[in-house]
């Protein structure tokens, strides 16, 4: 029994850092995908708007409420909240998900890529 | 002369106005010039190596959309300015020295340009360049492209439809393979470039014609364009700074372009064909027959974009011209081949190599060589902008070396024309 507990503890000791490492890797991969797909039109710096709004600290917020940026009426009236599931649907096909929106991006087909980008965006928050 | 003075004084007033406007906007916001200011994007968003004119797919879409995309904020000033200054040294001095230049070692202010570049209304935008040529000491209306574009949905597919009014066939093209926006993007006035022999579509009537073309882009993939041009009157050409010595008059003509492009975000490519078929009367003051040009080209490009840390591009084109001389019924041919590749690290440090070849029926039409360029563009990126209050400014410092195998049919003395060119290219 003692031996089993000891092994479990050793296993946890390895598992805990490996989970955080995996998350960090996921965020890093998401950063690369962001640089490839999004960076022309979006910044993750606070208040740095381009053609698209700053994506700093945006996960979990209501859509279209950043006062410094001029959103489309379609997005402002969408009443969406940028939770993980909504973001995934939006990134998959933005024009279909919010018809009349400004974002010209065609969409990211891979669910795992979307998850990584969203993880990266979720990490862009006040420290 | 009076007309030139009028343009000169107008440009001077415009430059003063621009200086005031830019100084004002610099204090108001973290602004960048013109397109960048309008969209909020960095130079690197639309240009390979953070400096024009080589376009990324985002830049291509911006151009085809009529220069109208914006961040939605009002009060953006659609004016920019550019200065190119350089030092040129050819292997052997030129005897006699070219007009307005020394026989060698020329330190020059190449050009100063003021641009109206940006949105006019929701669907209408313009890129219009007004230039003081520091070599010829002439003020002129340079490249102009005014366009109207709208996106529609047809049978579930996105169709971008547009119309361009411009003064140089090819200036409206979104790819950097046709002559107008092709590599090299800046070159020495003291050098001999790719030789005098050039096809009609390679700037033959640049700035002397006015034309319109209609274009469509289907689903961000298929591009088609059709247009035609008309010569400006000699008086109008003169008043726009083109002088009055050109006797050509354009008759019936058709400009066309077909291309397929694919933007896969981490890489992109295009392949296409283009052409300009035109009747040109060599002397509009006589009733003689016209020459008939048939220029046809094939072109392709590839861009590795990745995460934008390492970027590489290849551009290639081949243009074949058939010219039927009206007066003699003789037929002449000219073939221009161009290929260039570039690499950029962190959208800052660049190296490019271009090969060029022009061949004609006579040996004096033949010029062949290569050109190497290295450049440094420190700003125009999200993490690297010019110091305040000029955060909107950008600069490219570069060095070129032109190496000739054959120049206008002569191989033995071709190297005499080898040219080293150092340039500083500022934009505001």
Q: What pLDDT, on the 0 to 100 scale, is given for residue A5?
A: 54
Q: What's the length of chain A?
A: 127
B4 secondary structure, DSSP code = H
pLDDT digits (tens, 9 = 90+) for B67-88: 999 998 888 889 999 999 999 9
Q: Which residues pair with A121 in a beta bridge?
A: none
**Is A62 in the B-facing interface, judged by CB distances under 8 Å?**
no
Contacts of B112 (CB under 8 A, 6+ apart): B15, B81, B82, B83, B131, B132, B134
CB distance A41–B58 less than 8 Å? yes
Which residues of chain B does A40 touch, with a Cβ-Cβ cutoff of 8 Å?
A: 41, 45-46, 56, 58
**ipTM of this complex prediction, to 2 decimal places:** 0.86
Task: Show the tokens assigned to B60.
Answer: 């291509």
C-alpha span between B331 and B328 (Å, rounded): 9
Q: Residues A101-114, buried b or exposed e (16+ Cβ, 10 A)? A: bbbbbeebeeeebb
Q: From the first residue on, what is the mean pLDDT of each consecutive set of 10 residues in chain B (428 residues)?
A: 44 43 32 78 95 95 96 89 97 93 96 95 96 96 97 92 98 97 96 96 97 97 98 96 92 98 98 98 92 98 98 98 97 98 98 98 97 97 87 92 98 97 96
pLDDT digits (tens, 9 = 90+) for B136-152: 999 999 999 999 999 99
∠ Cα B289 B294 B298 (to 5°): 165
Alpha-carbon gap, residue B198 to B334, rounded angstroms:
8
Greatest CA separation found in chain B? 64
Residue A123 tokens read as 């990490």
Rounded Cα–Cα distance for residues B137 and B159 (Å): 44
CB B159 within 8 A of CB B70: no
Of the candidates B172, B158, B170, B168, the residue with the CA atom closest to the CA atom of residue B125: B172
Separation CA A71–CA A77 (nearest Å): 10
A109: contact with B, CB 8 A cutoff: no
Is there a contact between B3 and B397 (Cβ–Cβ < 8 Å)? no
Contacts of A45 in chain B (CB under 8 A): 382
Q: Provide the pLDDT for residue B83.
A: 96
Angle at the Cα of A25 from the Cα atoms of A22 and A29, rounded to 5 degrees: 140
Contact A120, A36 (CB under 8 A): no
**What pLDDT sits at residue B81?**
94
Q: Which residues of A touch B265 (CB under 8 A)?
A: 36-37
B249-263 vs B222-231, strand pairing mode: antiparallel
Q: Which of B39, B69, B308 sits opposite A39 (nearest CB)?
A: B308
Q: Which residues contact B113 (CB under 8 A, 6 or more apart)?
A: B81, B82, B83, B129, B130, B131, B132, B142
Residue A36, min C-alpha distance to chain B (Å) = 5
pTM, to two decimals: 0.90
CB-based contact A102 B73, cutoff 8 Å: no
Q: What pLDDT does residue B217 have?
A: 98
CB contact under 8 A, A36 and B382: no
pLDDT attached to residue A86: 97
**What's the mean per-residue pLDDT of chain A?**
87
Cα angle for residues B344, B201, B260 (degrees, 5° grid): 55
Could you write out the three-class secondary structure of chain A? CHHHHHHHHHHHHHHHHHHHHHHHHHHHHHHHHHHHHCCCCCCCCCCCCCCCCCCCCCCCCECCCCCCCCCCHHHHCCCCECCHHHHHHHHHCHHHHCCCCCCCCCCCCCHHHHHHHHHHHHCCCCC
Best residue in A28, A37, A40, A41 for a mutation probing chain B (most B CBs within 10 Å): A40
Taking only the tens place, the pLDDT of each residue in B211-258 is 999 999 999 999 999 999 999 999 999 999 999 888 999 999 999 999
């Amino acid at each position: 029994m003692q031996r089993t507990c000891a092994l479990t503890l050793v296993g946890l000791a390895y598992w805990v850092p490996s989970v955080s490492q995996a998350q960090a890797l996921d965020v890093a991969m998401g950063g690369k995908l962001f640089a490839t797909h999004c960076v022309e039109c979006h910044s993750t710096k606070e208040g740095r708007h381009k053609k698209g709004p700053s994506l700093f600290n945006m996960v979990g917020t209501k859509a279209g409420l950043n006062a410094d940026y001029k959103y489309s009426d379609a997005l402002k009236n969408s009443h969406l909240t940028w939770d993980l599931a909504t973001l995934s649907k939006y990134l998959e096909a933005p024009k279909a998900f919010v018809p009349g929106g400004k974002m010209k991006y065609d969409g990211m087909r891979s669910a795992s890529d979307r998850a990584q980008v969203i993880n990266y965006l979720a990490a862009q928050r006040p420290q | 002369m009076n007309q030139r003075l009028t343009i000169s004084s107008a440009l001077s007033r415009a430059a003063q106005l621009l200086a005031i406007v830019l100084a004002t906007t610099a204090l108001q916001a973290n602004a960048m010039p013109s397109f960048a200011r309008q969209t909020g994007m960095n130079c690197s968003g639309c240009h390979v190596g953070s400096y024009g004119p080589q376009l990324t797919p985002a830049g291509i879409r911006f151009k085809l959309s009529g220069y109208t995309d914006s961040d939605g904020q009002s009060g953006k000033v659609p004016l920019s300015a550019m200065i190119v200054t350089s030092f040129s040294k050819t292997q052997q001095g030129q005897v006699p020295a070219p007009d307005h230049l020394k026989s060698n070692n020329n330190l020059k202010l190449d050009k100063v340009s003021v641009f109206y570049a940006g949105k006019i209304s929701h669907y209408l935008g313009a890129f219009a360049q007004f230039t003081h040529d520091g070599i010829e000491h002439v003020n002129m209306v340079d490249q102009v492209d005014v366009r109207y574009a709208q996106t529609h949905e047809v049978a579930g597919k996105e169709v971008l439809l547009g119309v361009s009014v411009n003064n140089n066939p090819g200036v409206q093209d979104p790819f950097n393979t046709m002559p107008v926006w092709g590599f090299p993007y800046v070159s020495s006035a003291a050098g001999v470039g790719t030789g005098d022999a050039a096809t009609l579509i390679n700037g033959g009537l640049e700035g002397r014609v006015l034309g319109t073309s209609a274009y469509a882009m289907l689903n961000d993939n298929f591009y088609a364009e059709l247009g035609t041009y008309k010569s400006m009157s000699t008086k109008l050409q003169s008043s726009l700074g083109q002088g009055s010595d050109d006797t050509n008059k354009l008759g019936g003509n058709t400009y066309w372009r077909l291309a397929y492009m694919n933007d896969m975000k981490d890489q992109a490519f295009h392949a296409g064909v283009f052409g300009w078929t035109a009747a040109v009367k060599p002397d509009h003051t006589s009733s003689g027959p016209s020459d008939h040009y048939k220029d046809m080209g094939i072109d392709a490009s590839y861009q590795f974009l990745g995460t934008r840390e390492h970027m590489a591009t290849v551009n290639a084109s081949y243009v074949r011209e058939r010219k039927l001389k009206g007066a003699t019924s003789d037929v002449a041919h000219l073939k221009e081949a161009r290929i260039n590749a570039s690499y950029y690290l962190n959208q800052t440090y660049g190296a490019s190599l271009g090969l060029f070849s022009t061949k004609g029926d006579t040996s004096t039409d033949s010029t062949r060589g290569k050109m190497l360029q290295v450049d440094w563009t420190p700003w125009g990126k999200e993490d690297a902008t010019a110091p305040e209050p000029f955060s909107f400014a950008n600069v490219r410092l570069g060095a070129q070396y032109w190496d000739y195998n054959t120049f206008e049919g002569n191989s033995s003395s071709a190297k005499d024309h080898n040219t080293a060119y150092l340039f500083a290219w500022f934009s505001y």
